[in-house]
Chain A
Amino acid sequence: MRPAFSVILFTVLAGMGQGLFLMLVRADALGADPHELAVGGFASVALLGAGLACSFFHLGHPMRAWRAIAMWRTSWLSREVIVLPLTIAVVALWSLEHLLGKPHTAALAAAGVVLCLALWWCTGMIYACLRFLREWAHPLTLLNFALLGWMSGATLFAAYWSVLHGAAAARLWVVAAMVLTCAGAAARLASLARNRALRPKSTPQSAIGVAAARVRQISQGTTGGSFNTREFFHGRSAAFVANVKSIALVLAFALPLVLLAAAWVWPVPGLLPAAAAAQFVGLIAERWLFFAQANHPQNIYYQAVA
C-alpha cells in the first residue's frame, strides 16, 4: 500500500497521546501534583487533536467528515470516528478537573482509560479486519498499535517528569518506559517475522482464473497510471524499504532503550527528551513500513504496461 502521511501522523500522534494519558492516570494514583497532571493532560489532548486534524487531510471531502459516524454497526472506521472525539473530550475534562483542583471522580479517569484502549482497538481493527491484506489481518496489528502508542506515551511522560523534577526522580517512569519499549519491540519484531514468512494466497492464476503453470500480464489496460497504480504501490525500491526498516528499529526501539538506560544510570538532563524525540521519529518510519509492507491482491492486476 502507499503510505499516506496524514494517516501515519494521525496514528503516531494520537497513539502517543493515548499512552501519555495512561501514564498520567497511573501517576495520579501515586499522588502526583494535580496541576502537573493537568498540563500533561492538555498535552495529551493536543496530541490527540493534532492527530485528528491530520486525519482530515486524508479525506477527499473533509467538510463531510461528520457523515462518517453513520455506519458504526459495521465499520471500524466509523467507530474510530466516534471514539476519537469522545476520548479527546474525556481527557480534556479530566485535565480541567485537575487544573481547577476540584475533587475529581475516579469514573472520569476510568472512562478515559477505557476510551484510550477502545481507540487503539478501533484503529487496529480498521487494518486487521481487511482479510486479504494478510500483513495486517492478525491480532498482532492490534497489539502493535496499542503497545507502540503506550510505549511512546510512557517515554514522553518520563521526559516530562524529568523536566519537572530532575532525571533522578523520574527513575520509576524510566523503568516503565523501558519495559513498554521492550514489549513493543518484541511485538513489532514478531509481526515483521510473520510478514517475512507470509506467502501470497492470490496468484495471477486465481486473479484471472486460468490454471496454466505460467500466467503473466502483458497489459493492464492503460498506458499511464490510474488510481490503482497510485494508491496501492509504495513505488520505492527494496533498498529504500530496508533502510526505513532499519531506521524504524533503531529510532523507535534501540536508541530510546539506550538513552533510557543511560538516564537511569546517569540522571543527566536531556537524555529522556532525546529518547522521546527519537521514538517519535522512529514510529513515523515504523508506520510507513506498516503500510508499505502490506501487499494488496489487486496489485496482481497492475503489473505491466504495453
Chain B
Amino acid sequence: MTQPAETLAKQLALVIDLNVCVGCHACVTSCKQWNTSGSAGPLADLNAYGAEPSGTFFNRVQTWEAGAYPAAETIHFPKSCLHCEDPPCVPVCPTGASYKRKEDGIVLVDYDRCIGCKYCAWACPYGARELDEARQVMTKCTLCVDRIYDEKLAPEDRKPACVKACPTNARLFGDVKDPESEVSKAIRERGGYALMPEWETRPANQYLPRLVRQAQEF
C-alpha cells in the first residue's frame, strides 16, 4: 500500500480551465444524462421534487470566492474524480471492485463486486466518490469509458459527455502522458496544477489557473 503505483504509459484525464468556466452546470446535467442511461447507471435521485432533493452525481460544479471586496473573484469550480496516478481509494478496497486500468489509467468501480462498504470513499481526500443510495454500490466518474472508445460514434463524439456539453470549452480531454496532446500542452504552457498536492495522490486531472487581467487604459 505504501509503494507508489507504477507509472502508466497512457493516462487519460480532464484539464479544466478556470478562466472560462461560467458555472452553467451543463457538464453536470450531461454527465447525469449519459451515465444514468449507460453502463454506469441508473444513478438514483431521492426526493427529487421535495424540499431536500439528493442524488448520485459524478460531477459537481461549485462556486467559490477568492479575495475580498472590491477585488473579490468568483470562481466556478467543476469537481469530479481526478483519476489519480497514485489513487489511495484503490488499494483499500477489500474486494478489488475499485481498480485502475493499466491501459489508460481510468479509475473504475466494478458494481457487481462492490459490497458497499464505503471504505474507498473514506480513502479519497477529494470526496469524489458517491454511494448510490438505491443500488448501494459505490459510483464515480468513469471518464465516460463506455463512450470514448465506441466506434459506432463519430470520432469527434468519442469524448466524455461533459467535454462535449461545455459551451465555453472549459474542459479538455486527452492523454496527459503524450507530450503532444492538447491536455499536456495546456498543462505545460498554462501552469496546470493539481488539487491538494499535500496528499501526494498525483491527480491526473489538472486545473488551469485564472489569469486575472488588469483593466487597460487607452
Contacts and interface: CB of A to CB of B under 8 A. Distances in A.
Which secondary structure dominates chain A's binding surface?
loop
Given A220-B60, A296-B122, A132 B117 contact: no
A243 interface: no
B66 A232 contact: no
A237 interface: no
A74 B91 contact: yes
A246 interface: no
A56 to B, nearest CB: 10
B63 A306 contact: yes
Contact of B64 (A81, A131, A208, A226): A208
A13 B137 CA distance: 27
A213 B66 CA distance: 8
Contacts, number: 183
B74 interface: yes
A219 interface: yes
B61 interface: yes
Contacts of B131: 60, 227, 231
Q: For this complex, into which size category does the number of interface residues on chain B fall?
A: 35 or more
A77 B114 contact: no
Given A60-B116, A302-B127, A218 B65 contact: yes
Contacts of B56: 227
B193 to A, nearest CB: 5
Contacts of B96: 67, 70-71
A129 interface: yes
Interface in A71-102: 71, 74-78, 81
A64 interface: yes
Given A74-B91, A218-B63, A231-B121, 5 more contacts: A60-B116, A214-B68, A216-B64, A219-B62, A226-B60
5 contacts: A68-B115, A71-B94, A71-B95, A130-B122, A231-B118
The 9 residue pairs across chains A and B that have the minimum distance between CB atoms: A60-B116, A60-B136, A298-B127, A221-B60, A78-B94, A74-B91, A68-B94, A212-B66, A224-B52
Interface of B: 1, 25, 28, 47, 51-57, 60-68, 73-75, 77, 79, 88, 90-97, 113-119, 121-127, 129-131, 133, 135-137, 193-199, 207, 209-210
